[in-house]
Amino acid sequence: MSSLVRRLAIIGVLCFGAALAADNLEGLRGPTPLDQEPKAPRMAIVENFDVKRGRAYTSQPPTIPHAIDRYEITRNVNYCMYCHSRVRNEEFGAPMVSATHYMDRDQDFLAEISPRRYFCTQCHVVQTDAPLKVDNRFVDVYELIEREQQAADPPAPEAKEKKE
Protein backbone atom coordinates (compact mmCIF):
# COMPACT_ATOMS: atom_id res chain seq x y z
CA MET A 1 0.00 0.00 0.00
CA SER A 2 2.74 2.40 0.96
CA SER A 3 4.47 1.69 -2.35
CA LEU A 4 1.25 2.69 -4.16
CA VAL A 5 1.19 5.99 -2.24
CA ARG A 6 4.82 6.57 -3.13
CA ARG A 7 4.13 5.88 -6.81
CA LEU A 8 1.18 8.26 -6.81
CA ALA A 9 3.34 10.92 -5.19
CA ILE A 10 5.99 10.50 -7.89
CA ILE A 11 3.37 10.75 -10.65
CA GLY A 12 2.00 13.90 -8.97
CA VAL A 13 5.42 15.53 -8.92
CA LEU A 14 6.02 14.60 -12.58
CA CYS A 15 2.66 16.08 -13.65
CA PHE A 16 3.38 19.28 -11.74
CA GLY A 17 6.75 19.54 -13.48
CA ALA A 18 5.17 18.96 -16.87
CA ALA A 19 2.57 21.67 -16.15
CA LEU A 20 5.33 24.12 -15.19
CA ALA A 21 7.25 23.34 -18.39
CA ALA A 22 4.07 23.70 -20.47
CA ASP A 23 3.69 27.24 -19.16
CA ASN A 24 6.80 28.36 -21.06
CA LEU A 25 5.85 26.59 -24.25
CA GLU A 26 4.33 28.44 -27.17
CA GLY A 27 3.06 26.11 -29.87
CA LEU A 28 2.59 26.97 -33.53
CA ARG A 29 -0.90 28.24 -32.64
CA GLY A 30 0.70 31.12 -30.73
CA PRO A 31 -0.18 32.41 -27.25
CA THR A 32 -3.96 31.94 -27.63
CA PRO A 33 -5.33 29.81 -24.75
CA LEU A 34 -6.44 26.28 -25.66
CA ASP A 35 -10.14 27.03 -25.14
CA GLN A 36 -10.11 29.89 -27.63
CA GLU A 37 -9.88 29.92 -31.40
CA PRO A 38 -6.84 31.84 -32.74
CA LYS A 39 -7.23 34.03 -35.82
CA ALA A 40 -6.28 31.93 -38.84
CA PRO A 41 -3.11 33.20 -40.57
CA ARG A 42 -3.30 34.26 -44.21
CA MET A 43 -2.89 31.32 -46.57
CA ALA A 44 0.56 31.21 -48.17
CA ILE A 45 0.70 32.17 -51.84
CA VAL A 46 2.20 29.57 -54.16
CA GLU A 47 5.01 31.15 -56.13
CA ASN A 48 5.14 30.55 -59.86
CA PHE A 49 8.44 32.14 -60.88
CA ASP A 50 10.12 29.21 -62.69
CA VAL A 51 13.21 29.81 -60.52
CA LYS A 52 14.84 26.67 -59.11
CA ARG A 53 15.81 26.86 -55.44
CA GLY A 54 19.07 25.39 -54.18
CA ARG A 55 18.99 22.14 -52.22
CA ALA A 56 19.86 22.12 -48.52
CA TYR A 57 21.29 18.60 -48.60
CA THR A 58 22.31 16.09 -51.26
CA SER A 59 19.20 13.92 -51.27
CA GLN A 60 16.65 16.71 -50.88
CA PRO A 61 13.78 16.42 -53.35
CA PRO A 62 13.96 19.75 -55.23
CA THR A 63 11.06 22.14 -54.59
CA ILE A 64 8.61 22.67 -57.45
CA PRO A 65 9.30 26.05 -59.12
CA HIS A 66 5.83 26.31 -60.69
CA ALA A 67 2.18 26.19 -59.60
CA ILE A 68 0.54 22.74 -59.73
CA ASP A 69 -3.14 23.63 -59.12
CA ARG A 70 -4.57 21.72 -62.06
CA TYR A 71 -2.02 18.92 -62.27
CA GLU A 72 -3.98 15.86 -61.31
CA ILE A 73 -2.36 12.75 -59.83
CA THR A 74 -4.88 9.93 -59.67
CA ARG A 75 -5.04 6.20 -60.34
CA ASN A 76 -5.65 6.87 -64.04
CA VAL A 77 -3.45 9.84 -64.78
CA ASN A 78 -0.26 11.47 -63.56
CA TYR A 79 -0.20 14.92 -65.08
CA CYS A 80 3.32 15.66 -63.81
CA MET A 81 4.67 12.92 -66.04
CA TYR A 82 3.02 14.63 -69.02
CA CYS A 83 6.04 16.99 -68.97
CA HIS A 84 8.63 15.29 -66.76
CA SER A 85 8.77 11.80 -68.31
CA ARG A 86 11.82 10.61 -70.17
CA VAL A 87 10.02 10.68 -73.54
CA ARG A 88 8.30 14.07 -73.26
CA ASN A 89 10.55 16.32 -71.14
CA GLU A 90 12.41 17.73 -74.12
CA GLU A 91 9.22 18.96 -75.77
CA PHE A 92 8.28 20.98 -72.64
CA GLY A 93 11.74 22.12 -71.57
CA ALA A 94 11.16 20.37 -68.24
CA PRO A 95 13.93 18.50 -66.39
CA MET A 96 13.47 14.73 -66.70
CA VAL A 97 12.69 12.98 -63.42
CA SER A 98 16.01 11.47 -62.37
CA ALA A 99 16.92 7.85 -63.10
CA THR A 100 16.06 6.87 -59.50
CA HIS A 101 12.41 7.55 -60.36
CA TYR A 102 12.44 4.69 -62.86
CA MET A 103 14.01 2.17 -60.48
CA ASP A 104 12.21 -0.54 -58.58
CA ARG A 105 13.35 -1.60 -55.13
CA ASP A 106 15.92 -4.01 -56.63
CA GLN A 107 17.51 -1.06 -58.49
CA ASP A 108 16.29 -2.40 -61.84
CA PHE A 109 15.09 0.17 -64.37
CA LEU A 110 11.48 0.18 -65.50
CA ALA A 111 10.04 1.65 -68.72
CA GLU A 112 7.51 3.75 -66.79
CA ILE A 113 7.73 5.79 -63.59
CA SER A 114 8.25 3.47 -60.63
CA PRO A 115 5.20 2.99 -58.38
CA ARG A 116 7.50 4.09 -55.54
CA ARG A 117 7.72 7.53 -57.16
CA TYR A 118 4.19 7.83 -58.52
CA PHE A 119 2.80 10.31 -55.98
CA CYS A 120 5.15 13.21 -56.69
CA THR A 121 3.80 15.55 -54.02
CA GLN A 122 4.59 12.99 -51.33
CA CYS A 123 8.18 14.30 -51.61
CA HIS A 124 8.15 17.47 -53.77
CA VAL A 125 6.49 20.61 -52.44
CA VAL A 126 5.60 23.86 -54.15
CA GLN A 127 7.46 27.06 -53.29
CA THR A 128 5.43 29.54 -51.21
CA ASP A 129 5.93 32.94 -49.61
CA ALA A 130 5.13 31.52 -46.13
CA PRO A 131 7.27 33.06 -43.37
CA LEU A 132 9.25 30.72 -41.11
CA LYS A 133 7.19 29.69 -38.06
CA VAL A 134 10.29 28.96 -36.01
CA ASP A 135 13.90 29.97 -36.45
CA ASN A 136 15.77 27.55 -38.67
CA ARG A 137 19.23 26.65 -37.38
CA PHE A 138 19.95 24.05 -40.04
CA VAL A 139 23.63 24.04 -41.02
CA ASP A 140 24.73 22.47 -44.28
CA VAL A 141 27.14 19.54 -43.80
CA TYR A 142 29.51 21.28 -46.22
CA GLU A 143 29.67 24.29 -43.91
CA LEU A 144 30.17 22.00 -40.88
CA ILE A 145 33.18 20.38 -42.58
CA GLU A 146 34.60 23.83 -43.48
CA ARG A 147 34.22 24.94 -39.86
CA GLU A 148 35.96 21.81 -38.55
CA GLN A 149 38.84 22.24 -40.98
CA GLN A 150 39.22 25.87 -39.95
CA ALA A 151 39.26 24.86 -36.27
CA ALA A 152 41.80 22.05 -36.84
CA ASP A 153 44.06 24.07 -39.10
CA PRO A 154 43.57 27.80 -38.47
CA PRO A 155 45.39 30.17 -40.78
CA ALA A 156 48.59 31.55 -39.18
CA PRO A 157 48.53 35.31 -39.78
CA GLU A 158 51.71 35.94 -37.68
CA ALA A 159 53.90 33.61 -39.73
CA LYS A 160 52.67 35.32 -42.86
CA GLU A 161 53.47 38.79 -41.48
CA LYS A 162 57.05 37.75 -40.54
CA LYS A 163 57.72 36.58 -44.08
CA GLU A 164 56.74 39.94 -45.56
Binding residues (CB under 6 A) for ligand HEC: these are: 50, 52, 59, 61-62, 64-66, 68, 71, 78-84, 92-95, 97-98, 100-101, 113, 117-124
CA 18 vs CA 9, 31, 47, 130: distances in Å: 14, 18, 41, 32
Give 18 or 56: the residue with its C-beta nearer to ligand HEC.
Answer: 56
Q: Could you tell me which residues are beta bridge partners of residue 46?
A: 128
Read off the amino acid at residue 82.
Y
Q: The dihedral of CA 76, 68, 56, 58: what is its sign?
A: positive
How near is the Cβ of 96 to ligand HEC at its closest, in Å?
A: 7
How near is the Cβ of 124 to ligand HEC at its closest, in Å?
A: 4
How near is the Cβ of 134 to ligand HEC at its closest, in Å?
A: 24
Give 33 or 138: the residue with its C-beta nearer to ligand HEC.
Answer: 138
How near is the Cβ of 53 to ligand HEC at its closest, in Å?
A: 7
Q: Which parts of the chain fold into alpha helices (H)?
A: 2-24, 80-84, 89-92, 141-152, 157-163
Give 122 or 150: the residue with its C-beta nearer to ligand HEC.
Answer: 122
CA 32 vs CA 22, 29, 131, 132: distances in Å: 14, 7, 19, 19
Give 24 or 58: the residue with its C-beta nearer to ligand HEC.
Answer: 58
